[in-house]
Structure 1
Amino acid sequence: MKIIEVAEQQRWDDFVTSHLEANFLQSWDFYEFHKNRGKKIVRRAVVDDKNEIIAAYAGVVETAKRGTYMAIAGGPIIDYNDKKLVREIFADIYRAGKEAGCVFVRIRPQLPLSDRSLRLMQELGLKKAPMYLSVEYAGILDLGKSEEEILAGASQGFRRKLRKAEKNNIEIVANAEKWAIEEFCKLEKKHAERQKYVAFSSSFLTKQFEAFAKNNEVLIYTAKKDGEILAQNFMIFYGAEASYHYGVSSQLGTKYSAAPLLHMAAMREARKRGCRRYNLWGIVGLEEKSHRFYGVSEFKRSFGCEELKYTPAHDMILSPVKYQITKIIETARKRKRHV
């Protein structure tokens, strides 16, 4: 086995998409987005004696006042049953983090939560992170089911909203043109003000959109009535998964129940592209009624989705003393934000 830096997009994406559990979090274009933000990125792989990739991970180095760290979301992509390979790649993650001057490396593996997965993290010397990294609890729809089967599994409330929307003469448009992300950014600011959260910057959303648009991996779905935008979904299509990355709506969009129509249209496109699952992205537990995402989680559950818990983010600690500062700050921040 040998560790290499991967410089060819096709080679990288061919390996990542050959793993059904993978999604855009380890895609080439997601890290092109981070590069365009001025961030240092790492793309490394283990190759065998035939120079074939057998494991890989991509990470982004983030700078913060409390200390520099590397984030590896949805990775590494690896056969976790191969203990030798796992040790090899986690040792390389340690080296890469040290080379980048990191206090710690935060890893949220694309691995379903189980007692076995938690033991593995412990055996590798990782500690559960005080803050999440990307989605750890997701709602998943099986696109092997027909539209009729999915609707049969949805709640009565969801089907009622869908029927209502279908009677409202709502137009659904999907494209990757510049105007779509511009409108999305405008609507997101209004949505954030109404829902009382901090909006992403237009630059952040636009750069992300542009990175995925280059390879036809993104579409903005827009619901309109009488020329007015009601709601929009930012969808990413990569490998086996279609991801509902972001969604925004106006007050009028809520009134006319536009959101279900956007999702049904995106699911049809996902099937055309050969996607196997539709990821509704983050949800929170039924008991977490004070969580700020509880309401949107209930909406996602109304689809009748399966609930998938990933192994939560764990930290590979490279500088124990400095890491304690991060742990104190992030623990306090998590309580304050109710996340």
Structure 2
Amino acid sequence: MATELRVYNDPDPEWNRFIDSSPWGDILNYWQWGEVKRTEGWTPHRLALVEDGRTLLTAQMLIKPAGPLGNLAYVPHGPVFASTENLFAHLKEFTAHLRSVASDLGCFAIEIEPKLGSYVEGDLSENLKPFTDKDALNAFLQNGYKKTGRNMQPRYKLLYDLALSEEQLLGMMKKNTRYNVGYAERKGVSVTEYLPDDPQISGKLQLFYSLLEDMQERAGGYPIRPFSSFEKLLQEFKGTAAVSLFETAFEGDTIAINISERTGYWSSSFYAGSNRLHPNVKAMYLLRWKSVLAAKAAGCKVYDFWGIIPGSDQHKGYSDTKLSFGGVRIDHAGILALPLKPVQYMVWDKVLPLRSRLFSLLRSIR
């Protein structure tokens, strides 16, 4: 059967339906996410390889100017494919389409970051095996993509298979974590979910951002997204349950709010803000657990703790808390690059990172 490239110029429910159906898709591939990224200077281009009306592969290709080098094309957590069989049979053709479109848009390279990597530890059950498919990763490498050693999305992952029962998930936790979850419930810590249509959502989002700013100040000023990005996020996902806010509180005091995300297969909670009120009631443990249970109840197959940073003293508490929930460790391959203009890409890939490291060193010396 003949295949063809379909370019999506207008919203179409088929786009998100395909993302929902694939283990390799998540919210970064949703149509609405591309619209959110417009607020940060990216322009989304949605491309799909179709055979007899059936979608085989997709890529939400984000384009952003990179100064005099030209434009960069980036595909977060993609391309997404229906099956490894489709990937093996059609990646060469799809890559040719991506190359052609990116070249026409003045890009010097395409950088992709598929959800593929290597198993590290934990009980690798069926719903998690797709992310460790070595043949799928090799298919990209055999079609001209090169490992860069860089990443834009978290590289070190911790995942739950939500096909497991609540008892099995609790059993994966460290003893103290399991105790803290139960202790927070017994103490009366509450966790409430707010969807984008909730009349209280605007106020809750403002509260979330104030908590995020508090965390930023305590941590010494790490960068956070502007408030307008989060407003756009809720605006784009209004009328869906793909994004929601979870608020945990004790005795009338809000302690933390996270923004949770879910698709048909995948779920996560990758934005959170908190204060230091009532540390002894262990509210953060219950907040995470309730987010997991909500994703499980929604029919998601995987919960993604989003990122850990093993071996980092600075982020030890952040990583250790997540790791205490158990789960499966998978290390993603990171960014794979397809240079279109080798000289410009060499500057982007080698020279600019060296300059950034030099500036960081000079700042530390001062």
Q: Same fold (TM over 0.5)?
A: yes
How far apart are 1:331 and its partner, in Å?
4.9
SS in 2 for 1:103: strand
1:245-304 Cα shifts (integer Å, max 9, x gaps)? 21221122544321111122222221221111111111133xx234x4332121111001
Q: Distance in 2 between matches of 1:231 and 1:332?
A: 38
C-alpha deviations, 1:95-146, integer Å up to 9, x for none?
1221221221110012234654554333222222353121222111111122
* Number of residue pairs the alignment of both structures matches: 333
Tell me which of 155, 165, 184 is aligned to 2:184: 165
On the 8 A contact 2:24/2:77 being kept in 1, the answer is: no
Q: What's the secondary structure of 2:329's corresponding residue?
A: strand
SS at 2:249's partner residue? strand
In 1, distance between residues paired with 2:357 and 2:335? Answer: 14
Secondary structure, counterpart of 1:251 in structure 2: coil
CA distance in structure 2 between the partners assigned to 1:212 and 1:243 by the alignment? 15
CA offsets, 1:172-224, max 9 Å, x none?
11103222211111110110111221222111222123222342211111111
Q: Which amino acid aligns with 2:191?
A: I
Aligned to 1:132: 151
CA contact (8 A) 1:20 1:239 kept: no
Secondary structure at 1:252's aligned position in 2? coil
Counterpart mapping for 1:125-204 below 5 A: 125-176=144-195, 177-196=201-220, 197-204=222-229
Aligned to 1:57: 59
Which of 327, 331, 344 does residue 309 from structure 1 map onto? 331
Whether 1:95 aligns to 2:100 is yes
| Mapped partners of 1:248, 1:206: distance in 2 | 15
Tell me the distance in 1 between the aligned counterparts of 2:39 and 2:188. 40
Asked if 2 retains the 8 angstrom alpha-carbon contact of 1:130 and 1:331, the reply is no
Residue aligning to 1:39? 42
Aligned 8 A contact 2:156 2:331 in 1? yes
SS in 2 for 1:304: coil
Matched, 1:237 2:262: yes
Unaligned runs of 5+ in 2: 119-131, 196-200, 362-366
Which of 247, 252, 256 is the equivalent residue of 1:222? 247
2:11 and 2:31 in contact (8 A); partners too: no
Aligned counterparts of 1:129 and 1:141: Cα–Cα separation in 2: 28
Q: Is the 8 A contact 1:106 1:129 kept in 2?
A: no
User: For 2:165 and 2:68, how far apart are their aligned partners in 1?
Assistant: 49
Moved more, 296-305 or 161-170: 161-170
CA distance in 2, matches of 1:234, 1:19: 23
Aligned residues of 1:107 and 1:133 also touching (Cα < 8 A): no
Asked whether the 8 Å contact 2:255–2:274 carries over to 1, the reply is yes
TM norm structure 1: 0.90
- The aligned runs of 1:58-97 (5 Å cut-off) are 58-65=60-67, 67=69, 68-78=71-81, 79-82=83-86, 83-97=88-102
Equivalent position amino acid for 1:57 in 2: A
Q: How does 1:21-36 map to 2 (within 5 A)?
A: 21-36=24-39
What amino acid is aligned across from residue 302 of structure 1 in structure 2?
A: S
Equivalent residue of 2:282, what SS? Answer: coil
Aligned to 1:284, what secondary structure does the other structure show? coil
1:330 corresponds in structure 2 to 353
CA distance in 2, matches of 1:20, 1:39: 25
